[in-house]
């Protein structure tokens, strides 16, 4: 059986603390990658020295700070494998992760994206034994475009992609929205008819820590606004556009809710106004918008008594 050539792309920014273990988890794979590309995205720590110690199998690309999306694109452009796997510098792979994905790819060469479950851990130990247990719909990839907009998003560190599909459609990560750049690429793949498959095993270990990009919720939704607006500029499918409009309104609602919590009522109204619509999210946005227009004393009363009022309703 001819095994396909695999490229591994690892973007890193000041990842010296975890990068060594990350790369070693790739070197320890039972199915060896043809190339390991580490993109150093403007790091100012000891990453460069660490990479020299990791040996000649690691190819390094150094660039000015551009964000994780730009770093992933730089690695993708350098990759020569039939398939590309991505791994964040703070995550790890279990030894048979690549082998099991490659076996699945060989069995069905028409698959474009293969993702796995993940175990989430901290320095104190395992926090969640299964990412899929929290996002169970990922176990049965069906309507991936809808799933992605509704927050069922495979972890990038679990994904193996067929490079020919990306080249055929001219797809890459949406670098201006770093942090949701992976969501943008997955939505584009789904929109172009890409085939997704799930390998329902926790073959990746996702490290949880204070610096995870996904923990910056306000920034993440602000970048979703930019992403969805960009996708709406060129996607013409009516159903996909309807879902993107829902996602855009939901992002504005979340930003408005955050602004209200920060007592920035003008900014809150600007976002909440754009979140109003004829569904649950839209009604909640309208209610929050109206509340933000109340005099400060009345608004403060609502905030202090929110739970009690909801129970009575």
What does the pLDDT look like over 143-157, one tens digit per residue?
A: 999 999 999 999 999
Delineate the domains of the chain, giving CATH numbers in brackets: 6-215 (3.90.550.10), 219-312 (no CATH)
The pLDDT of residue 249? 97
The pLDDT of residue 213? 53
* Low pLDDT (below 50) residues in the chain: 313
Compute φ and ψ for 138, nearest 5 degrees. Answer: -65, -20
Distance (Å, whole) CA 149 – CA 282: 16
The pLDDT of residue 294? 83
CA distances from 285 to 220, 250, 256, 298 (A): 19, 9, 8, 18
Q: Global pTM? A: 0.91
The pLDDT of residue 2? 77
Q: Which residue has the tokens 């043809």?
A: 34
Compute φ and ψ for 285, nearest 5 degrees. Answer: -65, -40
The pLDDT of residue 22? 97
Give pLDDT tens digits for 154-213.
999 999 999 999 999 999 999 999 899 999 999 999 999 999 999 999 999 999 987 655
Compute φ and ψ for 229, nearest 5 degrees. Answer: -65, -40
* Those residues with Cβ within 8 angstroms of residue 305's Cβ, 6 or more apart along the chain or in another chain: none
Distance (Å, whole) CA 269 – CA 271: 5
The pLDDT of residue 219? 84
The pLDDT of residue 218? 77
Q: What residues pair up with 8 in beta bridges, in sequence order?
A: 36, 85
Compute φ and ψ for 164, nearest 5 degrees. Answer: -60, -40
């Amino acid at each position: 059986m001819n095994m396909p050539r695999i490229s591994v792309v690892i973007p890193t920014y000041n990842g010296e603390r975890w990068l060594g273990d990350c790369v070693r988890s790739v070197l320890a794979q039972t199915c060896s990658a043809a190339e390991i590309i580490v993109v150093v995205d403007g790091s100012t720590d000891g990453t460069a020295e660490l990479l020299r110690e990791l040996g000649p199998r690691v190819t390094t690309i150094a660039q000015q700070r551009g964000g994780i999306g730009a770093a992933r694109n730089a690695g993708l452009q350098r990759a020569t494998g039939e398939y590309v796997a991505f791994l964040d510098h703070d995550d790890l792979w279990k030894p048979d992760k690549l082998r099991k994905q490659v076996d699945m790819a060989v069995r069905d060469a028409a698959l474009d994206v293969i993702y796995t479950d993940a175990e989430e851990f901290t320095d104190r130990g395992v926090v969640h034994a299964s990412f899929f247990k929290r996002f169970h719909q990922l176990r049965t990839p069906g309507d991936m475009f809808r799933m992605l907009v509704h927050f069922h998003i495979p972890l990038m560190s679990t994904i193996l992609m067929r490079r020919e599909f990306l080249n055929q459609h001219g797809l890459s990560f949406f670098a201006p929205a770093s942090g949701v750049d992976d969501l943008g690429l997955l939505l584009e793949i789904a929109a172009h008819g890409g085939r997704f498959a799930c390998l329902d095993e926790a073959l990746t270990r996702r490290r949880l820590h204070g610096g995870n990009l996904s923990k910056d919720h306000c920034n993440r939704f602000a970048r979703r606004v930019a992403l969805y607006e960009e996708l709406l500029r060129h996607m013409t499918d009516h159903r996909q556009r309807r879902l993107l409009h829902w996602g855009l309104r939901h992002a504005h609602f979340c930003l408005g809710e955050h602004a209200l919590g920060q007592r920035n009522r003008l900014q809150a109204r600007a976002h909440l106004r754009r979140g109003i619509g004829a569904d649950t999210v839209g009604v909640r946005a309208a209610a929050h918008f109206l509340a933000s227009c109340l005099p400060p004393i009345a608004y403060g009363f609502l905030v202090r008594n929110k739970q009690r009022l909801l129970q009575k309703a």
